[in-house]
Structure 1
Amino acid sequence: MLGENHALFLEYPEMHGKIRELKQSDENFKQMSDRYHQLDHKIRGLEVSNIPTDDHHFNQLKLERLQLKDKLYSILSN
């Protein structure tokens, strides 16, 4: 769905407390989380505003977001 918010708190509501805790105690997690949110915001902006971008660039942004999400989930699930 275009423009859908993929914030970590929305993707993993059952892990809200752990996300908040890790953002405060783990600098690596915080940096990855911040980058994930930047990418999500940028992708949603491109989707809803119809700003011209080539498919390769758009797919690269989405791939980076997905890879970060996988890494973040791996940390959260341990």
Structure 2
Amino acid sequence: MTIEKHDLVHEFPDHQHTIRHLKMNDRHFARLFEQYNELDSLIHKMEEGAEPTSDDVLNEKKAERVQLKDALFTFIKEAEAVN
């Protein structure tokens, strides 16, 4: 089974320009973006077996990733609505 990373640009390819703009110009977005990437890397390691964990912890981390992704997508949509 191939384990896929869920980086934000891959998840939202149509919004690459907005993501780059927000990373450079919005501290809160940049901080959430960094948290999302760190969490995604951790989940990837857990799924590969490089980071020992339980199914419950893995599922909690995945739920956190979804929440962060939703928050980031809200930022993206709001920024695009203004432009």
- Which consecutive aligned stretches of 4+ in structure 1 deviate over 3 angstroms post-superposition? none
How far residue 60 of structure 1 moved from its aligned partner, in angstroms, is 1.2
Unaligned 5+ runs, structure 1 = none
CA contact (8 A) 2:42 2:51 kept: no
1:47: which partner in 2? 47
1:76: which partner in 2? 76
Deviation by residue 1:23-54 (Cα, 9 ceiling, x = unmatched): 01000000000000001011011111364311
CA distance in 2, matches of 1:40, 1:51: 13
TM-score where L is the length of structure 1: 0.90
TM-score where L is the length of structure 2: 0.85
The equivalences for 1:25-44 within 5 A come to 25-44=25-44
Number of paired residues? 78
Largest Rg, 1 or 2: 2
Question: Percent identity over the alignment?
Answer: 37
Amino acid at match of 1:4: E
2:64: which partner in 1? 64
RMSD of the TM alignment (CA)? 1.5
